[in-house]
Structure 1
């Protein structure tokens, strides 16, 4: 039982940091400055559903995409890890995504895709989904992914309260810490890919 719980927690933590919660929160707050509390909460719910759908599509169909394009898992690990590392560096350096022009509905584009589920997160999700082969691992991975996305949704739903408690500076600090965790996950993906590519066990 402990093995299943530990696996669930481990995967949940990885997915949670892959979705860069505090970076997403800072962009969410910047793009919804003109909205009231109720409007922000409704938008947060729509973003959560959009992210959940995008993540599960990538998680379940990653293997099929690998087969279709003739890409090996190790090659994709290296590519996704490199892209994820670049995203992590941008976060640590404090480079934010420009909000751009106001749209009628920003829940899917750009908040869900590409801000929450960007190219780097997409690659990492496909790799992690392809890595889980046994039935119990796939089931636990689905639960962990859903839990991570729901945590993001809760953070966005409570965005106004969080901003009031820790302030913009606190959110910026948490975003940088998230970037450091992302860099570590990216390094692990690259090292695992290189080891598999070279046949080192």
Structure 2
């Protein structure tokens, strides 16, 4: 169970693309005060947690409703996640600062920047893959831990920018993209193998 927890925590945390999220957060909140940034960081964490837990626990019902097989969804989710990873590696995943002062916490920072199509696909697949109550509990704990760590990083985003610089964040985003592409390939080929079996 400890191995499952660590494995799922790392997988979910990387799929959140934390360093790209931090870059987007800094860009979209550059004119906000420290207190406002903290409020937005907490709101992002809550929105990400709620959306991910809903997808994780109700994914099987969504599959049943639309008549989609798990392996077909693995192939689709893997392909979408891979495209997102390629965008990060190439540096094309960028966010333009908002000109209006609407709240950016839920849209676009939580959805679709943190919980994008690839993340949604992975949450649905994970929820359908893990069947026992013990596995679901461990996965829920790993998911919650990943959200808490992401929220913590957003709370200290200003300090991270000073230490790493924008170039450092860009490099970490590209490295994250490499790991995400490997996760995407594994999901895709697992789906393809099972689909063709």
TM-score category (smaller protein): over 0.9
Q: Which residue of 1 aligns with 2:72?
A: 75
**SS of structure 2 residue aligned to 1:105:** coil
| C-alpha distance in 2 between matches for 1:52 and 1:101 | 27
RMSD across aligned positions (CA) = 0.9
**Where does structure 1 lack aligned partners over 5 or more consecutive residues?**
none
Gap change, CA 1:101 and 1:58, over 3 Å in 2? farther
Which of 148, 151, 166 lines up with 1:150 in the alignment?
148
TM-score computed with the length of structure 2 as normaliser: 0.97
Q: Which residue of 1 aligns with 2:8?
A: 11
**Where does structure 2 lack aligned partners over 5 or more consecutive residues?**
none
Q: Is the contact between residue 71 and residue 192 of structure 2 (CA under 8 Å) also seen in structure 1?
A: yes
Q: Is the contact between residue 12 and residue 143 of structure 2 (CA under 8 Å) also seen in structure 1?
A: yes
Alignment of structure 1 residues 107-146 onto 2, 5 Å: 107-146=105-144
Q: Is the contact between residue 27 and residue 96 of structure 2 (CA under 8 Å) also seen in structure 1?
A: no
Q: Which residue of 2 aligns with 1:24?
A: 21
Alignment of structure 1 residues 47-196 onto 2, 5 Å: 47-95=44-92, 96-196=94-194
Q: Which residue of 2 aligns with 1:33?
A: 30
Q: Is the contact between residue 91 and residue 174 of structure 2 (CA under 8 Å) also seen in structure 1?
A: yes
| C-alpha distance in 1 between matches for 2:134 and 2:63 | 22
Deviations 1:56-100 (A, max 9, x none): 011111100000000000000000000000000000011113344
Deviations 1:25-81 (A, max 9, x none): 000001011012221111101110111001101111110000000000000000000
